[in-house]
Structure 1
Amino acid sequence: MTVSDEDMALAAQDGDGQAFASLIARQYDRLFRLCFRLTGSKHEAEDLTQDICAALPAKLSSYKQQSKVTTWLYRVAVNAAHDRRRKQATYGRASDGWGDWELNRQAVIEENQTRADWLTIAMGSLPVDLRDTLALVLDDMTHADAGDILGIFEGTVSWRLSEARKHLKSIK
C-alpha cells in the first residue's frame, strides 16, 4: 500500500518522525532540483535545501491540505530562496566599500611598517648618545625626563635631537 504525500504530511504534523523522514526522502531530490534552478549554484542549492529541511517540521503546521504537498513545498522553497536573496542583497549593500577600506588600511599599515623599518636602520647609524636620546623622546618622553634619565641638561636633549634630525635627513 502506497501512502500519499498528503497523508505523510498530516502524520508528520502530528509528530510522526517516520512519516516526516519518509516525506523528506520522497521529496528531497525534487526539492533540491528546484533549489538548484532558483539559485543556479550546486553549493547554494545544497545549503538552501538543507535549511528548508531543517525548518520543515515547524513549517508543516501551515500545511492545510488545500493543495498537494509538492505545491506547498515548492512555495516554501521559493519563499526561502527569496529570503536568502534579500539577506544576501542586504549584506552586499552593508559590506559594499569594506574591501576598499581594508585595502587602504593594509596600505597604511605597510607604509607605517616601511617607515618604522627605515627609522630602525637609520637610528643604527647614529652615534650612541644621539640614538639613546632619540629613542627616549620617540617613546613619548619629555625632554626634561630624557635629560634626567641620561644625566644631561634638557637643553642638551634638544641639541642632540636637532643633531639626530640633521643626520637622518642626510641619509634619507
Structure 2
Amino acid sequence: MRMTVSDEDLAQAAANGDGQAFSSLIARQYDRLFRLCFRLTGSKHEAEDLTQDICAALPAKLASYKRQSKVTTWLYRVAVNASHDRRRKQATHGKAADGWGDWELNRQAVIEENAERADWLTQAMRQLAPDLRDTLALVLDDMTHSEAGEILGVSEGTISWRLSEARKHLKSLKEKEGAA
C-alpha cells in the first residue's frame, strides 16, 4: 500500500524547515508554475527567470501559507504577485532609463566618428615625408615642441615649421578627397 502525501502537507513541512518536503513540493509544482509564468510573461526566458525567482523566494513565503486554500491556488497567487512586481520594476526601470538610449546612440556615434578620424589621419600620415610624419606623431602624442625637437635633434622652430607643412599636406589631402 502506497501513501501519498498531499501538497498541503508538503507545504506545511517545508514551512517548518523540511528540505526534503520542499524538494518534493517543487518537483510536483515546478512545471505547472513554469506554464503559468510563461502565460503571464509571454516569453520563455522571462518565464524561466520568474519561475526561478519564485522558487528561490518560496522557502520564506511558505511561512505565510495557512492551509486556507490548496497549495496550487496559493502558489498561483504568489506567481501572479511576483509577475506584477516584475512588471512594475520593469516599468520603473524603463522610466528611469528613458532618454539614456538616445544618449548612448549619440555617444556611440561620437566614438565611431573619432575612430574614423583617427583611421583617416593614420592613412594620411603615411603619405607625408618621414620627417613630417615623425614630427606630427610626436606632437600628437602630447609632446611639446621642445621635447619633439630634442628627440629629433632639431630646433623648436623646425618642429613648428614641420607641423605647419604637415597641416598643409593634410588639408590638401582632405580637399582632394572632398572633390572626388
TM surpasses 0.5: yes
Give the match for residue 168 of structure 2: 166
- Measured in 2, the distance between the counterparts of 1:85 and 1:64 equals 27
Cα-to-partner distance string for 1:14-45 (whole Å, 9 max, x where unaligned): 23334333333443343333323322233322
Cα-to-partner distance string for 1:71-115 (whole Å, 9 max, x where unaligned): 322221111111211222233233333333333223222222222
Give the match for residue 91 of structure 1: 93
Give the match for residue 177 of structure 2: none
Cα-to-partner distance string for 1:127-158 (whole Å, 9 max, x where unaligned): 22222222222221112222222222222221
Cα-to-partner distance string for 1:40-66 (whole Å, 9 max, x where unaligned): 233322332232223212211111223
1:155 partner amino acid: G
TM-fit CA distance, 1:2:
4.5
2:171 partner amino acid: K
Gaps of 5+ in 1: none
- Measured in 2, the distance between the counterparts of 1:80 and 1:25 equals 20
Report how many residues are paired.
172
Gaps of 5+ in 2: 175-180
Name the % identity: 85
- Measured in 1, the distance between the counterparts of 2:49 and 2:111 equals 37
- Measured in 2, the distance between the counterparts of 1:151 and 1:42 equals 68
- Measured in 2, the distance between the counterparts of 1:168 and 1:142 equals 20
Give the match for residue 111 of structure 1: 113
The answer to whether the aligner puts 1:69 opposite 2:77 as a matched pair is no
Of residues 154, 157, 161, the one that matches 1:155 is 157
Query: 1:64 and 1:125, CA in 2 relative to 1: closer, same or farther beyond 3 A?
Result: same
2:163 partner amino acid: L
TM-fit CA distance, 1:119:
1.6
The answer to whether the aligner puts 1:21 opposite 2:31 as a matched pair is no
CA RMSD of aligned residues (A): 2.3
